[in-house]
Amino acid sequence: MKTADLYIRVSTDEQADKGYSQRSQEEVLRKYCENNHIIVRQVIYEDHSAKTFNRPEWTKLLAFLRRYKNKCDLILFTKWDRFSRNAPDAYQMIATLKTLGVEPQAIEQPLDMSVPENKMMLAIYLTAPEIENDRRALNVFYGMRRAKKEGRWMATAPIGYVNRTQENGKKQIVPQQPQADIMKWVFKSISEGNYATEQIWKAARTKGLKCSKHTFWVAIRNPAYCGKIVIPQLKDEPSYTVDGLHEPLISEALFKGAQLALDNKRRIAKTKISVRPEIILRGLVKCSNCTRILTGSGSKGRKNYYYYYHCSTDCGYRQKAEDVHESLMGLLDQLTLHSCFAPLFKEVITDVFSNSLMEHTSNRCTYLEQIEKLNIRLQKARELLLNGDIDSQDYKLIKDEAEGKIADCQDILGKLGENNKRIAELKKALDDAIFNLTKLNLIYKNSSPEEKRQMVGSMFSEKFTFEELKHRTAILTDTYKIIYLINSELGGKKNGTKENISSLCHRVIPLGLEPRTPTLKVLCSTS
């Protein structure tokens, strides 16, 4: 009697879960073996696609057949599409099974392989399912392309989005928090160009972003974040983008700015977000000899590590990190606004802002005068029209021109209003800002390494050397220049001292003869 292995394959996971197709196939195969006196050795259940033979259960069966060669005569299945849906692979597998002494056979489509003409029928049985698969795949492809052209996202949602099904049954992607806010921060940081992209990815991971580095790089190139869907090139149809139906996380301008930064079209020096607290100024200090940017590293001593800022070239420049940080703290102490000068600092800023608003007020009067003149011009044009001095066409031209200018002036006046509200908002914001400036050195000491780097970047308009830091000659931003000026010019004066009198006259006017002669004039000389 012949021995057979029963191979049962389903086409979808749903069939595998319900089990109807599997039970039906097994029942038919067992009845066939019973009627033809065939011994069933084992039953193999498979729920993978038949496009290839890279299937878990089939791989185990093939290994079993090779191990026990010539122990099995048949592999039975219901139809040839249960065996394979790929004709070339099927022919190769049939040849492999033949070398193992096994004959594959479909009980509902039986073929005698010893008859040459049956090979043509085998080709039909194998090719028909393959054609069906290809046609189904092609229909799905064009259906997905049509949906993309309508603005629908047809894949797994990118980072920051999640797939959702709407009430009408259509699927769409919607923002998912907090991932969406993190991706907004990512694109903004990339467009600014201040940090390396890998460092931005690491910082995003600490914020809670859940993705690999490869997925991150794919995401930041995806225009779906600005509401665009890419339609790939197909034959003679070029690639283009359409507006998506989903909600964009960022603006199109921000996305383009990030792409320019990624393409290195904007050459911006990129520093690291996260550094060791012992060398937080790495990348911000430059070499005094060759003007290159200093790096930092630690050197292991007998008991501890000692950190240095040093040049990566052969110039040999090297400074202790502790000395550099001490010089920076000395400068920070001088840049910290004295609390007694804080009201003056606030008053000066408020006064400058009020003066700028006064200028706007004068501009407001100018625009009001222009509106009044234009209204007078319209009134005169009406009188000329009524008197018959101009025709209706000339009046219409004058009216359209005047009304257009009046509308422009009114728009500008609307933007110049609410000055008192703006001054109140400024004073409220100044209170917090000036308080922080009076605690600048303490805030720096208690900040994280990343925050310290941001503070240093806001204080200095360009990178500095250790010597410039030590001698207080590093170039500061305008805000800190003013603070330094206020502290040095006003802080050095003692109570009760008078203003500088070096510009006053050093010669005393003579009193003249007795009686006093007020008509006598002696001019003071300042030379």
Q: For the residues of 181-229, what is the DSSP string, one character each? A: HHHHHHHHHHHHT-B-HHHHHHHHHHHT----HHHHHHHTT-GGGGTEE
What 8-state DSSP symbol labels residue 389?
Answer: S
Residue 329 lies in a domain: yes
Q: Could you report the per-residue pLDDT of 182-198, keeping only the tens digit for each?
A: 999 999 998 887 788 88
Domain annotation covers residue 274: no
CA separation (Å) from 272 to 26, 196, 444?
A: 64, 6, 19
Does residue 503 belong to any structural domain of this protein? no
Which tokens in the block code for residue 106?
């479909």
Say whether both 20 and 67 belong to one domain.
yes
Last residue of a domain, one of 200, 233, 262: 262
* Domain of 430, in residue numbers: 348-438
- 128 vs 321: which has the higher pLDDT: 321
Dist CA 274 CA 196 (whole Å): 11
The pair of structure tokens assigned to 323 is 């000395």
418 assigned to some structural domain? yes
CA distance 221 to 201: 14
Q: What does the alpha-carbon distance between residue 500 and residue 492 come to, in Å, rounded to a whole number?
A: 13
Separation between Cα atoms, residue 312 and residue 295, nearest integer Å:
7
Burial of 386 from C-beta contacts in 10 A (0-12 / 13-18 / 19+): exposed
3-state helix, strand, coil in the chain (%, to 5): 55, 15, 35
Residue 355 and residue 307 share a domain: no
Q: Which of 158-162, 186-190, 330-334, 413-417 has the lowest mean pLDDT?
A: 413-417
Tell me, yes or no, whether 444 lies in a domain: no
Number of CB atoms found within 10 A of residue 184's CB = 16
Residue 520 has pLDDT above 50, yes or no: no
Specify the higher pLDDT residue, 412 or 91. 91
Same domain, 7 and 78: yes
Q: DSSP labels for 293-362?
A: BPEEEEEE-SSSEEEEEE-SSTT--EEEHHHHHHHHHHHHHHHSPPGGGHHHHHHHHHHHHHHHHHHHHH
Q: Residues 411, 469: one domain?
A: no
Spacing of C-alpha 230 from chain mean position = 18
Kindly give, in sequence order, each residue whose CB lies less than 8 Å from that of residue 270, ignoring residues fewer than 6 positions away: 193, 194, 195, 196, 199
Q: pLDDT tens digits for 475-500?
A: 888 877 877 777 766 555 544 444 44
Q: What is the pLDDT of residues 30-44, one digit of tens each?
A: 999 999 999 999 999
Separation between Cα atoms, residue 99 and residue 63, nearest integer Å: 13
Q: Minimal CA–CA distance to 223: which of 303, 158, 277?
A: 158
> Beta strands of 49-98 (E only): which ranges?
74-77
Residue 243 sits in the same domain as residue 366: no
Dig out the tokens for 81 from the structure. 């599409």
Q: Are 111 and 176 part of one and the same domain?
A: no
Residues 221 and 217: their CA atoms lie apart, in Å, by: 7
Q: Where would I find the H helices in 388-495?
A: 392-416, 419-438, 440-445, 449-459, 466-470, 478-491
- Provide the pLDDT for residue 351: 75
Mean pLDDT to the nearest integer, 354-362: 61
Residues 97 and 244 placed together within one structural domain of the fold:
no
Q: Is 153 a member of any domain?
A: no
Q: Is the pLDDT of residue 517 over 80?
A: no
Distance (Å, whole) CA 149 – CA 231: 7
CATH value at residue 27: 3.40.50.1390
User: For residue 83, is pLDDT > 50?
Assistant: yes
Provide the domain count of the chain. 4
**Same domain, residue pair 50 and 169:** no
Cis peptide before 223 (omega within 30 of 0): no
- Cα separation values, 410 from 361, 415, 434, Å: 14, 9, 37
Can you give the pTM of this predicted structure? 0.44
Domain shared by 305 and 405, yes or no: no
User: Which residue shows structure tokens 């422009």?
Assistant: 408
Rounded-to-integer distance, Cα 174 and Cα 164, Å: 7
Judge if 180 and 97 occupy the same domain. Answer: no
Q: Are 81 and 50 in contact (CB under 8 A)?
A: yes
**pLDDT at position 407:** 86
**pLDDT for the residue numbered 497:** 46
- The highest-confidence range among 118-122, 245-249, 392-396, 502-506, by mean pLDDT, is 245-249
Residues 18, 108, single domain; the answer is: yes
Rounded mean pLDDT, 120-131: 82
Residue 226 lies in a domain: yes
Same domain (yes/no): 94, 176:
no
DSSP 279: G
**383 falls in which pLDDT band (50, 70, 90)?**
confident
Cβ neighbours for 393, distance < 8 A, ≥ 6 positions apart: none
Residue 3, classified by CB atoms within 10 Å of its CB into exposed (0-12), middle (13-18) or buried (19+), is: middle
Facing residues of 464 across strands? 285
Domain C-terminal end among 99, 115, 134: 134
CA distances from 314 to 296, 310, 317 (A): 15, 10, 8
Phi, psi of 3, deg, nearest 5: -115, 140
Which pLDDT band holds residue 509 (cuts at 50, 70, 90)?
Answer: very low
Type of residue at 398: I
pLDDT tens, position by position, 55-74: 899 999 999 988 888 888 89
Q: What pLDDT band is residue 360 in, cutting at 50, 70 and 90?
A: low
CB-hemisphere CA count at 13 Å for 470? 10
- In this structure, is residue 504 part of a structural domain? no
